Structure 1
């Protein structure tokens, strides 16, 4: 049980004995001498004796007291000496006892901490708590430090939403002036956010605005969702996220007047309300450019602007245009040119006219870049995120962009990039202060898919291998009908440039339910990828694989009616090596585009096989996807169009491992191998695949009236597509296989469920157009989790 001390002052006789004592284990303080004229006299001692000290030497105590033998001391001076010794914080009790001509300073030292115990904690481990406390075993016990440790532990629980957690420090006395320090913890319940609401919003619903915030309402999966606990610091981030959301949609006068946090003690929950003022929504008006620099034609710079007059105002468009203009100036050898946006309001028409003024900026150079806090990550990994080096002209916009790239690496819990004055005029020093965080993960999980069945996943990934910024990953997935293993290594800055090198080694097997043959593919593929525009990237690759078709059903020789699989499949059985080179161009504006409500993805790839190996073909694939949010961003519309073709070269023919199949994700309502050319005269009627395919998907996602904290929404879709074309169409019995184009289509509804384990999707579909031999499926679900 924790000791509670007291202070006392006692006088025995008139001037005979002066005793000042204190016991301040729990309540530190000082004794105050009584205002008694009887003791208003001076004392003088020929000797001063120190008693009771073991660890602290007598000279240190005498020096702290500030008294010396032979010195005339008043009662006030003796009280001051007492106070000085107590304030050292080294002693549990202090007594100053005049004994004739000798002044005795008797002390009792604070005990030593024998061990530190933590009791009652389940949500936070002992190791995590040890990191936030300052008390250490085998050091002198300090009540102030114990109280500070208790407050730090309670704060750690508060950061996790357990605001009612209490921590009590206690001591258990042991022999040899030792104590055990025990922190007794009552964790309490998580303080949840029962309701997130908004006042003053008209353009967007509460439902839409809640999706902007990092904080979440407590919902169906409150046990797993950390975002529904109340953390005061998170509200500040939410304010910024909400402001950025409105500003990027043209509401330049948006304000948050207040955020009210009301605690309902009977429900142990908070009710959080944002009081906002949206203001008017502005569009871009006239976009012009002017120059104060001699010989610089502003119209040339205006040509790189990405702003469209009449479009919704967004700060991102301004920032990108400024960056483009300043990069153009550098390309023309014009240093220190600044493109300053000058915005003029037109409240009547709710438009903003923007003029970009090209002017001479201050001549400031980067003296050096200092990096601190990276114990594991190499300096060069951080420096690679800068487009400037020491000696280059200083550009504040480029420094801010570099800071964002450093944070986007995901290696650091925090990264601060600031500029300060250098050692000389016209110079700045860029300070980078980072706080590293774990970048490795070992995952073990389970999965289920209606395509592959139940499976187990085992994976390892390190995103900052040896502090070099490299990715090293190994993954094994075993399912009912397939097994796959993959090793991946990625160097994001190959040869010190923005050139990502990737190496993959893979081993995949498939045991199809819809076919009486299996496939096995083993090989490796090195590749490089680099940007060619703001949103465009180009990837080049090589692939070498051994593709095997095995376990083909050749029929029953004793049953002439059972001829097994199609002769087309039987002729392809065996192993072939494929050596190919290819490229992929992608253009993606879904995250980096100027319109926050719309985006497109375009991807085009080709592979040429025949550089050695057994297979010779050229394969081409393309995909175009567009999406837009409408009706206050409550409904998301998506449209996807994709297709591909493979053409055999020379006198070779494609195999089933090379040809296309439409999976259930591409054409809902059908089995993975459910459509395409099929040998109907063969006993197994195996799917053969096709040399060409095309698919189109239209879908909409929208709320269905459930509380948004459940993460459940609905959707509808319409899919259409087909697989066709074979070189060899001679099937069983010499009958030609129909490989012509036959359109299939389906319609259905979807249920989207966003869970802590990942997004789940349930599709209920009905085929509209299908061939008699197609394999259909009315329900499809993909569930994936890690634990």
Structure 2
């Protein structure tokens, strides 16, 4: 037995020595040459650069496995084989094909361009099965957002010469799954019907073919939950929670049923709001008045956020840009009330070290920097950063604007990084519109908002209708002479036919202006206009009876305005007022002084789709050593005072409604209107309005042979009406009905107006 175990030990030692010797022998093997075969497009040098082994490297299994992983990782190769013979390494590769063409068949819901953007595959890209699988998944997810959960996609690969392939996705879009039912559990305070108005998902209805809100979209459920939280949090339910949200396919597969499981919780009131400050030398500001919440109001998270924002803005304006406000809630469960404490702390003082701008491949840096209200070295100010971001967005040059803050090289410094994504700023538009005033009209325009990347605006426009023919070309230069000054120059040729006044006015000339903004958001504009104005008298068929031969009008204008409206075209909040003065008499044939004062105010009720608008204007024109001609007088009616024709109010040649309007030297007009979508499905984009318009036109300094004195009165006109506005895919559609409830016998009326506009 002893001899047996001794034999075993000796044999084991010999085997260990043998394997050690082999390992040492292999470790001493060096790669003498690397041969690459099978590559058609990728050259040898590129392949060698991908791998970590080279001639002279040690030949080990670990090195060979690593080289295989490195080559597969590039995505260039379908197969890779490595062999060794007498220290010569041979790498045999088979390259992946290249995409020659990407196509789609059977897609009706989405255009090819949209699908191409979604899958992120491009011509001449490396083809692989993994990329195709990822592309199929992306397309299926896209169709799910439109309620199509049965979409099937079959990829077809056509092999071509030279390791190239055509890839075609055959798409069966499948049926459209709509939302058949929406239900809520746990809502004791608000009804299902009320909550259905809040969320973006809608039950299917026959008229919802114009929207996609009734198409089931799982991602939309999260938006719906957010909408519900906002709704409850603004009505005192501070502990509201969405416990569950889910959509299930109905057993008959006719659509989806959506369920929301809610926990409303108690409703809390604000019992008191206190302000505690640790800021030194804090100015005497009544912060409590900046919070739009009264004691014993229901808790409202939006009003609280607005109050905190108001305090932050007030502190920033006073030079306390680094203050922080932290709300503290003391909840009294027994009385369902909240004692709110707002703690104002000094915060950490930071300064701007660098302002970095990226992504502006076309727009000059200077164009962006001049919109930033901070410079390097300024104190960090979030309010100014937000305003700067808004200014850059309002340029309209960029698809996306992202502003990020990152630490600087020192603890009290920060870098402001602004990344922009350029978008097309040129616009070619063709418009077709119809209204009861202008009837059919067409518009054609070419404009460039960012000419040569310098922020200049160039335009060319042509507008034609039965009553108007307008041509204009112009250039606008913001920050003229590198100052807060906007300059513009325009050429124009306009023709206006006013059948109510039996006249046609032709004007040809140019205008130039310079404007600048000043403190408190005021804007000043100076302008000069030189034009030749010809007035033609027309018969009942709009044929020319006579002409004044044309007169030269040389005028200097000034306008001061302030505009805080959230939207110039369809405002919901803010105000606007402007005073315009025009002096004609710098040479030329016409001498007068004209003044027009305009103002408007809009208010949107919190959490209610109701907007109140009030507007008014007053105008006066006075001749300088001469009477005011008919061409230069004011005319009133139409869209300023609805219910009347375009020149339906004011003095006329005779005391009857069929006589021609002669205009007036004075006028005023106003409007009070309500606009809302209450009672109408929000996803349709339809809003209703009720309004009352009023105004008057008077004052003719002309011979009594040219007008009826009895029609030159200051009598007030009033109309009342209603209307609908629908934002359709082909443009805004407006219907307005107005009835003149206070009028004169010689006024011309227009009860209904319809307008359809489109730009494409």
Q: Place the TM-score, normalised by the shorter chain, in its bin.
A: 0.7 to 0.9
1:542 corresponding residue in structure 2? 528
Does the C-alpha gap of structure 1 residues 263 and 108 become closer, same or farther in structure 2, counting only changes over 3 Å? Answer: same
Does 2:103 match 1:118? Answer: yes
1:279-678 paired onto structure 2 within 5 Å: 292-293=279-280, 296=281, 298-299=283-284, 310=294, 313-329=303-319, 338-341=322-325, 357=344, 359=346, 361-534=347-520, 536-553=522-539, 573-591=548-566, 599-629=574-604, 633-649=608-624, 651-678=625-652
How far apart, CA to CA, are the structure 2 residues paired with 1:493 and 1:390? 20
Supply the RMSD in Å over aligned alpha carbons: 5.2
CA shift for structure 1 position 588: 4.0
How far apart, CA to CA, are the structure 1 residues paired with 2:112 and 2:180? 30
Does 2:701 match 1:711? Answer: no
CA shift for structure 1 position 644: 1.6
How far apart, CA to CA, are the structure 1 residues paired with 2:450 and 2:194? 38
CA shift for structure 1 position 235: 6.6
Contact 1:225 1:756 in 2 (8 A): no
How far apart, CA to CA, are the structure 1 residues paired with 2:206 and 2:466? 31
2:746 corresponding residue in structure 1? 773
CA shift for structure 1 position 387: 1.4
2:755 corresponding residue in structure 1? 782
CA shift for structure 1 position 611: 2.5
Structure 2: unaligned runs, 5 residues or longer = 1-22, 27-31
Pick from 714, 735, 742 the counterpart of residue 715 of structure 2.
742
1:142 corresponding residue in structure 2? 128
1:205-216 paired onto structure 2 within 5 Å: none
Corresponding residue SS for 1:657: helix
CA shift for structure 1 position 477: 1.7
Contact 1:290 1:298 in 2 (8 A): no
Corresponding residue SS for 2:633: coil
TM-score, normalization by structure 1? 0.74
CA shift for structure 1 position 109: 2.2
How far apart, CA to CA, are the structure 2 residues paired with 1:197 and 1:540? 61
TM-score, normalization by structure 2? 0.76
CA shift for structure 1 position 680: 1.0
Question: Which stretch shifts more, 774-783 or 129-138?
Answer: 129-138
CA shift for structure 1 position 253: 4.0
Does the C-alpha gap of structure 1 residues 119 and 483 become closer, same or farther in structure 2, counting only changes over 3 Å? Answer: same
Does the C-alpha gap of structure 1 residues 713 and 401 become closer, same or farther in structure 2, counting only changes over 3 Å? Answer: closer
Contact 1:499 1:529 in 2 (8 A): yes
CA shift for structure 1 position 151: 3.5
How far apart, CA to CA, are the structure 2 residues paired with 1:241 and 1:271? 15
2:6 corresponding residue in structure 1? none
- 1:762-781 C-alpha deviation (Å, 9 max, x unpaired): 22232223222222122112
Does 2:728 match 1:755? Answer: yes
Does the C-alpha gap of structure 1 residues 631 and 355 become closer, same or farther in structure 2, counting only changes over 3 Å? Answer: closer
Question: Which stretch shifts more, 400-409 or 772-781?
Answer: 400-409
Does the C-alpha gap of structure 1 residues 749 and 545 become closer, same or farther in structure 2, counting only changes over 3 Å? Answer: same
Does 2:671 match 1:697? Answer: yes
Corresponding residue SS for 2:550: strand
1:68-87 paired onto structure 2 within 5 Å: none
Contact 1:627 1:636 in 2 (8 A): yes
How far apart, CA to CA, are the structure 2 residues paired with 1:208 and 1:667? 39
1:20 corresponding residue in structure 2? none
CA shift for structure 1 position 83: 9.4
Structure 1: unaligned runs, 5 residues or longer = 1-41, 330-335, 556-563
Pick from 713, 718, 730 the counterpart of residue 704 of structure 2.
730
Contact 1:678 1:737 in 2 (8 A): no
Q: Looking at secondary structure, tell me which structure has more helix per residue.
A: 2
Does the C-alpha gap of structure 1 residues 105 and 447 become closer, same or farther in structure 2, counting only changes over 3 Å? Answer: same
How far apart, CA to CA, are the structure 1 residues paired with 2:521 and 2:189? 33
Does the C-alpha gap of structure 1 residues 712 and 548 become closer, same or farther in structure 2, counting only changes over 3 Å? Answer: same
Contact 1:112 1:138 in 2 (8 A): no
Corresponding residue SS for 1:298: coil
CA shift for structure 1 position 53: 3.0
How far apart, CA to CA, are the structure 1 residues paired with 2:44 and 2:621? 93
1:13 corresponding residue in structure 2? none
1:6 corresponding residue in structure 2? none
